[in-house]
Amino acid sequence: MAVAALAVVMMVMLRTRRASASPFLPPGLRLESDTQDLGIISAASSATGRFKISNTGPLVYRIDKVIPECGCMAAHLPDPVLGYPRTIDLAVTVNGAGWGDGLRKKSVAVFLSDNHGVRSSLKLTVTASVRRVTNLEVAPGRIDVPFSRTGEPIVVSLFVRGDKAIVDLIPPKILVTDAPITRLGISPSTLEGRSASREVFASIESPPAGQEADQRTLEIAVSGSYRQVIQIPIRLHSGH
């Protein structure tokens, strides 16, 4: 009787341990990967990742619930019964509009029970980067200044607002030469959707006062996940 009682206690302990949250997979279950990286998506689009869950036996599992971390994700399961042997695809779709700015990592909880009534759970992770495009703005949009008397450079202040990654890459000082167009190319190396502002000083090479009006252009070109070109006309004049 003592041996039988001990066996019952051990069985209860085993079933309790298996039913508790654990980083280990339930017996017989295999995951191709517990993480899906959906890459870069826009706030106006969506992307879907698929988790392959396999049952190598001998238990039969039923997926009782799939709960994404937030309403910005939706899970689709073709069949909740995972027999032996069988593999099913759990599709998780991310809605870019509600995901948040920049790189985010969120989880999906999967709750299962086997044919003996033992409950268990899986934690799956989805990562995605959403870029909320904030167009670059530069003020003033036109520069109209007089020549300096000695031909010394003229310094004007520009205020730049836009995507943080782009704003951070624009140099604090820009030299506008005597060429018709001065081009500044920006290629963002990071993904960041939050907007930012900064002050930029443009130093303009100026002919001496008294010369005819001089027309130039400062061009700021942004390349990356989207492309934008801003042209700022510059007019230097005698001041009369």
Average pLDDT of the segment spanning 146-161: 91
Let me know whether 142 and 121 are in one domain: no
Question: Domain range holding 43?
Answer: 24-131
Would you say residue 5 has pLDDT above 60?
Answer: no
Residue 196 and residue 232 share a domain: yes
Q: Average of pLDDT values for 196-210?
A: 90
For residue 137, is pLDDT > 60?
A: yes
> pLDDT tens across 78-92, in order?
899 999 899 999 999
* Domain match, 127 and 207 both: no
pLDDT, residue 133, reads: 66
Residue 57: CB atoms within 10 Å? 13
Query: Model pTM greater than 0.75?
Result: no
**What DSSP assignment string belongs to 16-31?**
HHHHS--SSPPTTEEE
- Residue 18: what pLDDT? 39
Partnered with residue 112 across adjacent β-strands are: 63, 120
Domain end call among 96, 131, 166: 131
Percent of the chain clearing pLDDT 90 (strictly above): 57
Give the domain-ending residue among 97, 131, 165.
131
Residue-averaged pLDDT of the chain: 85
